[in-house]
Amino acid sequence: MLFRWRTTVVSAAAVMIAALPVGVRSAAQAAPPDCPSLYVVAIPGTWETSDKDPGKGMLANVTNNLPGDVRTDYVAYAATAFPWEGDVYGRSKAEAVNRARGMISAMALHCGATRFALLGYSQGADAAGDVAASIGTGLSVVPANRVALVGLIADPRRSPTDQLIGAPVGGAGASGPRVGGFGWLSNRTYTFCAPGDLYCSMPNGDFAGRIGGLLVQLSNPDPAQFGNYQREVSTLVTDALAAGGVGLLDNQINRQEYDQRRKQINDFLKSGIHQSYPRYVVDSNGDTALTWLHDRLAGIAGS
């Protein structure tokens, strides 16, 4: 009886194994020939690219001449900021997020062993950071362990707790930190913010500026993110009340303060700080933000 039971179990197992699709057994043995070992998805900044005129912008200095079996694709999207350009910032960013997710998803499904790197500058960093956050918190189609690096330059959603490379900067991104952070990708996500870049280092006490940054994000609200929006608004209100309440906010939006703010923003835009990252040195070796990221990617690609 025992012998017949063992024979039945072994036979059943053999039938089940034989019935498995060939792909299940062979997927781990050999990847398709068109699968890179590292897939880099790069999202340029505002006005660096568009649907009609795809461009690489500043990030080309990061992805050029990488060693090994690397494929790099750039996300072309509206990359606009103002309604009269055709798309408000929120819709433009959402387009970048959705396209980046689609590219990563397609590669992940086709190439089971390929690792990923995600790069972004300015509005592109805003989008890339959101994609990275969804992966790091388990809300994406690719597991976090397949992402080797995330590089965010001038991220409007930079958090003071993000892994900053370069000189310390105050405040946070103009649109406020992401709720939940980067999760399992926190130790592989690097952010760069040049001192004085208001996009990624809005002073904590500038509540009018923070409200403006939040309104930019809400220019195309995502119903799935309403819970996060509520938490962000609650944090901003709590901070404002702790710092001085409605009177402080009123002081920040009066005529004199408005004129000073307009001058501050104009001076910032003229300074070129936001475009300084090809020259912005971030370590004692003399590496700029772009060469630092390039060298880190090259080490991953060559490993």
pLDDT of residue 107: 97
Give the mean pLDDT of the chain. 80
For the chain, the first-to-last Cα distance in angstroms comes to 55
Which stretch of 113-122, 209-218, 260-269 has the lowest confidence by average pLDDT?
A: 209-218
- Top pLDDT among 78 and 260 is at 78
**Tokens coding 56:** 């690489």
CB environment 245-259: b (16+ within 10 A), e (fewer): eeeebeebeeeeeee
pLDDT of residue 183: 97
**Tokens coding 31:** 């990847």
Question: What does CATH list as the number for 34-202+272-302?
Answer: 3.40.50.1820
pLDDT of residue 276: 96
Dump pLDDT digits (tens) for 103-118: 999 999 999 999 999 9
Question: Model pTM?
Answer: 0.76
Which CA distances in Å does 195 have to 57, 110, 199, 235, 274?
Answer: 21, 41, 11, 24, 10
84 pLDDT tier (thresholds 50, 70, 90): very low
Domain boundaries, the chain: 34-202+272-302
How does DSSP assign 90-104, residue by residue?
Answer: HHHHHHHHHHHHHHH
How does DSSP assign 193-255, residue by residue?
Answer: --TT-TTT-B-TT-HHHHHHHHHHHTTS--GGGHHHHHHHHHHHHHHHHHHTHHHHHHHHTSH
Q: Is 117 helix (H, G, I), strand (E, B) or coil?
A: strand
What residue spans of the chain are helical by DSSP H?
A: 2-19, 22-26, 60-63, 89-110, 123-136, 207-217, 226-243, 245-252, 255-271, 289-302
In a 13 Å sphere around the CA of 33, the CA atoms on its Cβ side amount to 0
Which residues are CB-neighbours of 186 under 8 A, at least 6 positions away? Answer: 136, 163
**Tokens coding 34:** 């068109």
21 pLDDT tier (thresholds 50, 70, 90): very low
Number of other residues whose CB lies within 10 A of the CB of residue 145: 11
Number of other residues whose CB lies within 10 A of the CB of residue 207: 21
